[in-house]
Amino acid sequence: MNRREDPRLLRGEGQYAGDIALPDALHLAFLRSPVACGQITHLETAQAEALPGVHAVLTAQTLGPMGVLEVNPALPLCDLPNFPILAASDIEAVGQPVAAVLATTVNQALDAVEMIEADIEETVAAPPRLAAMQHWQTGDTAAAFATAAHVVRVRNQHPRLAPSPMEPRAIAVLPEGGGLTVWLSTQTPHRARADLARILSLDPEHLRVIARDVGGAFGMKASLYPEEVLAVWAAHHLGRPVRWTATRSEEFLSATHGRGLTSEGQLAIDSEGRFLALKARVEAPLGHWLPNSALIPAWNAARILPGPYDIPATDLGTSARRAHTAPTGIYRGAGRPEACALMERLADAAARATGLDPAEIRRRNLHRVNGPRDLPAGQVEGADYATALDHLLRLADYPAWCARRDARRAKGALAGIGLGFYVEPSGKGWESARVTLEAGCATVEFGGSSQGHGRETALAQIAADALGLTPADITVLHGDTATCPAGIGALASRSTPIGASAVLEACREIIRRRDAGETGPITADTVYTAPGEAWGHGCYLAAIEVDRDTGAPHLTRMACLDDAGRLINPLLAKGQVMGGFAQGLGEAMMEALHFDDGQLLTGSFMDYAMPRAADLPPLTIHKTETIATTNALGAKGIGEAGTIGAPAAILNAALDALAPLGVTDLQMPLTSLSLWQAITNTSKG
Ligand code: SMO
């Protein structure tokens, strides 16, 4: 079934926050700090205020005290989070808002920003400081390392990434009848409402948050931003509609970044290639303020170790440190790619140490049983990963890939192949749905929301199937706190496993009541709490050639197998795999944010390379369906699959390609320069 959203979106009939007509709206623009650390010594707004069209110039003094944003306590915090809306005196990052202008047009607001006099005394930034840490341990790692036949070590430094959805952050606020309607480009409308109410001391009943169409988010819009709080404050206090749409430069500077984690692992292996013990340390960078999701990457990157492998002894630690940069938070994958890249590099290093084929050493260590499984961080849903690997290798004809690589090598090419086996835990918790059946049609009011990923299509299919109707009989509403029941939102691959399970359960209740004789319109309100996380899994296989003279990498071919439990819409699932793969390729081969002395050196698409269509190799997608036991629908997440498995496979393929030269370490992104340096720095190069 095609996406029912697409005709509307393709005709330009989408309703993004920037499309909302707000007559007489004031446009917001921000003066942002040009330095990473310092003190505001002088702030003069009179000249800006005198410009035509300028309605107000706001500073921290104008705003007064405000509440802070709640941070998901995935890890225990040992440093108090702050949430500056406008800098009071301390400057903590380049791009931090210092003052805000409200004017009749965007250009008047931008002109006025130029006229604000801000003197900032720059100071030397302190080193990153510890904000959170956690540790998990099982078995006797010391004994295992002491008796191991081999010990291998790996260190990964993930590039810091800009999530870069097509639609930047955008907000439009209408004060009306004592309340405020807020159109917001967000993954979490209900949470945004609760956060706004708490931070601004407003009655949540007087706030309505609407996320109609959202042009991508990828985790970057899962948390409320200072700029958005300011827009709502201004509309409330000035009694005027207010709107703000971030420029791409503002997104690079002040929206949440992803990845940037460092991981180190040691694996103890016996003479048969069995993994005996894993010791791993993860460190995640945090920015100058913490979005709701700030601690999730550090938590995920460690707590899902040892990934798909059974390892009797583990010693896992993670920590997160705050620095004078833009904030960091979840970005598609959110710690899972980091866990996967560490384990998969260790598995390949173990294969080299033991002389086993990379597929064979994985086969000997992958978990083999569907059902509950004990990880150091707790019991989770496991699956027969070894069979999934064999399935992919058979479907893709792995021996043929190896033979082709060996033939290319015999001709002098630097050719490699790499595997990346991943697990993808979806979110936990609850979502809600209200379903009304009336006269052969049904309305689904969904507590979650859509970030552009086809929720209306998938939910219509599920409701139609459960109610014995066709999808055309189903109306799906979401993303409006006034008309839809409460929900968490479109993040952590939770929309289908948990959100659609809520829809399914509501439909089942309606059928029970109808079959018991209830007549007329029947409405079922369901809050569905999943008994556990759904754990998807799969494997990516990459073939690469690296030009010996220039280091230019050429991904020649990719294949993958993804298991997302029960599949609702194969087209949506395929789109998720392809989109995630493209972003995974971006991390592996080209994307990277760089800072120097707190300054962002890569603040535009002139300096930050995103993959384009021509960069993508052919990808053959295979799928299996191992039904989840952790939700009513049996579904698992798939939205993050490609970002998790692909980088590990590509990195391993590049390491395989350069292994004949004696190269044992490469870091992402695998640019021509970095590969050329690796080639020329070896004696055999
Ligand atoms: S990185 Mo996702 O929006 O949980």
572 CA to middle of ligand 1, Å? 17
217 CA to middle of ligand 1, Å? 8
Using DSSP bridges, classify how beta strands 522-529 and 179-184 pair: parallel, antiparallel or unpaired: unpaired
Packing angle, helices 501-515 and 455-467, rounded to 10: 20
Dist. CA 93–CA 82, nearest whole Å: 13
Instruction: Determine contact, residues 94/36, Cβ cutoff 8 Å.
Output: yes
Give the model confidence (pLDDT) of 617-651 as tens digits.
Answer: 999 999 999 999 999 999 999 999 999 999 999 99
Q: How confident is the model at residue 427 (pLDDT cuts 50, 70, 90)?
A: confident
| Token output for 560 | 């993958």
Ligand 1 close to Cβ of residue 219 (< 6 A)? yes
Mutate which of 72, 332, 453, 455 to test ligand 1's pocket (most atoms within 8 Å of Cβ)?
Answer: 332
Mean pLDDT for the chain overall: 97
Nearest to 459 by CA among 449, 379, 652, 654: 449
Instruction: Determine contact, residues 33/113, Cβ cutoff 8 Å.
Output: no
Ligand 1 close to Cβ of residue 453 (< 6 A)? no
Point out which residues pair with 542 in neighbouring strands. Answer: 418, 558
Give the model confidence (pLDDT) of 334-349 as tens digits.
Answer: 999 999 999 999 999 9
Q: How confident is the model at residue 311 (pLDDT cuts 50, 70, 90)?
A: very high
Please determine, for residue 79, whether its predicted confidence score (pLDDT) is greater than 80. no
Which residue has a Cα nearest atom 4 of ligand 1?
Answer: 492
Atom of ligand 1 at shortest distance to CA of 220? 3
Ligand 1 close to Cβ of residue 331 (< 6 A)? yes
Ligand 1 close to Cβ of residue 161 (< 6 A)? no
Ligand 1 close to Cβ of residue 221 (< 6 A)? no
491 CA to middle of ligand 1, Å? 4
Give the model confidence (pLDDT) of 15-31 as tens digits.
Answer: 999 999 999 999 999 99
452 CA to middle of ligand 1, Å? 13
Please count the residues of the chain: 685
Question: What sign does the CA torsion over 599, 600, 603, 607 have?
Answer: positive
Point out which residues pair with 437 in neighbouring strands. Answer: 442, 522
Helix (H) or strand (E) holding 391: helix 385-396
Instruction: Give one DSSP letter per residue of 54-114, joined into a string.
Output: EEEEE-HHHH----------SS-B-S-----SS-SSEE-STT-EEEEEEESSHHHHHHHHH
Q: What is the pLDDT of residue 49?
A: 98
Amino acid letter, residue 663: V
Peptide bond into 376 cis (omega under 30): no
Q: Give the three-class secondary structure for 430.
A: strand
Using DSSP bridges, classify how beta strands 242-245 and 26-32 pair: parallel, antiparallel or unpaired: parallel
Ligand 1 close to Cβ of residue 214 (< 6 A)? no
Q: How confident is the model at residue 683 (pLDDT cuts 50, 70, 90)?
A: low
First to last CA, the chain: 52
Q: Which residues lie below 8 Å from residue 390, measured CB to CB, with a gap of 6+?
A: 363
Atom of ligand 1 at shortest distance to CA of 222? 3
Please determine, for residue 685, whether its predicted confidence score (pLDDT) is greater than 60. no
Dist. CA 574–CA 63, nearest whole Å: 47
Please determine, for residue 166, whether its predicted confidence score (pLDDT) is greater than 60. yes
Checking phi first, is residue 509 left (phi over 0); if not, alpha (psi -120 to 50) or beta? alpha
Point out which residues pair with 39 in neighbouring strands. Answer: 90, 121
Average pLDDT over residues 99-115: 98
Instruction: Determine contact, residues 577/558, Cβ cutoff 8 Å.
Output: no
608 CA to middle of ligand 1, Å? 21
| Token output for 17 | 């926050």
Q: From residue 479, how far is each of 196, 332, 456 by CA, in Å?
A: 16, 20, 11
Instruction: Identify the residue whose tokens are 């990379």.
Output: 358
Ligand 1 close to Cβ of residue 291 (< 6 A)? no
Q: What is the pLDDT of residue 82?
A: 84
Dist. CA 625–CA 561, nearest whole Å: 10
Please determine, for residue 50, whether its predicted confidence score (pLDDT) is greater than 70. yes
Please determine, for residue 562, whether its predicted confidence score (pLDDT) is greater than 60. yes
672 CA to middle of ligand 1, Å? 30
Dist. CA 644–CA 584, nearest whole Å: 7
Packing angle, helices 336-354 and 358-365, rounded to 10: 110
Residue 503: how many CA atoms within 13 Å on its side-chain side? 34
Average pLDDT over residues 200-220: 97
Average pLDDT over residues 512-539: 97
Q: How confident is the model at residue 684 (pLDDT cuts 50, 70, 90)?
A: low
Diameter of the chain by CA atoms? Answer: 82
203 CA to middle of ligand 1, Å? 28
Q: Which residues lie below 8 Å from residue 456, measured CB to CB, with a gap of 6+?
A: 4, 5, 450, 476, 478
Instruction: Determine contact, residues 155/665, Cβ cutoff 8 Å.
Output: yes
Atom of ligand 1 at shortest distance to CA of 492? 4
Alpha helices in 552-615 (DSSP H): 570-589
Q: What is the pLDDT of residue 273?
A: 98
Give the model confidence (pLDDT) of 272-288 as tens digits.
Answer: 999 999 999 999 999 99
| Token output for 632 | 């009513």
Which residue has a Cα nearest atom 3 of ligand 1?
Answer: 219
- Neighbouring CB atoms inside 10 A of 139's CB total 16
Q: From residue 262, how far is each of 156, 341, 377, 667 by CA, in Å?
A: 6, 11, 20, 11
Q: Which residues lie below 8 Å from residue 197, measured CB to CB, with a gap of 6+?
A: 203, 204, 207
Dist. CA 232–CA 180, nearest whole Å: 8
286 CA to middle of ligand 1, Å? 16
Specify burial of residue 150 (Cβ count, 10 A radius: 0-12, 13-18, 19+): middle
250 CA to middle of ligand 1, Å? 21
The interface pTM score, or ipTM, of the predicted complex is: 0.95
Average pLDDT over residues 48-74: 96
| Token output for 363 | 């086969």
Give the model confidence (pLDDT) of 125-163 as tens digits.
Answer: 989 999 999 999 999 999 999 999 999 999 999 999 999
Mutate which of 328, 428, 491 to test ligand 1's pocket (most atoms within 8 Å of Cβ)?
Answer: 491
| CA angle centred on 447, ends 69 and 435, rounded to 5° | 165
Dist. CA 471–CA 646, nearest whole Å: 34
Ligand 1 close to Cβ of residue 332 (< 6 A)? yes
Please determine, for residue 524, whether its predicted confidence score (pLDDT) is greater than 80. yes
332 CA to middle of ligand 1, Å? 5
Ligand 1 close to Cβ of residue 492 (< 6 A)? yes
Domains delineated in the chain: 6-125+164-254 (3.90.1170.50), 135-143+153-161+257-426+533-680 (3.30.365.10), 430-529 (3.30.365.10)
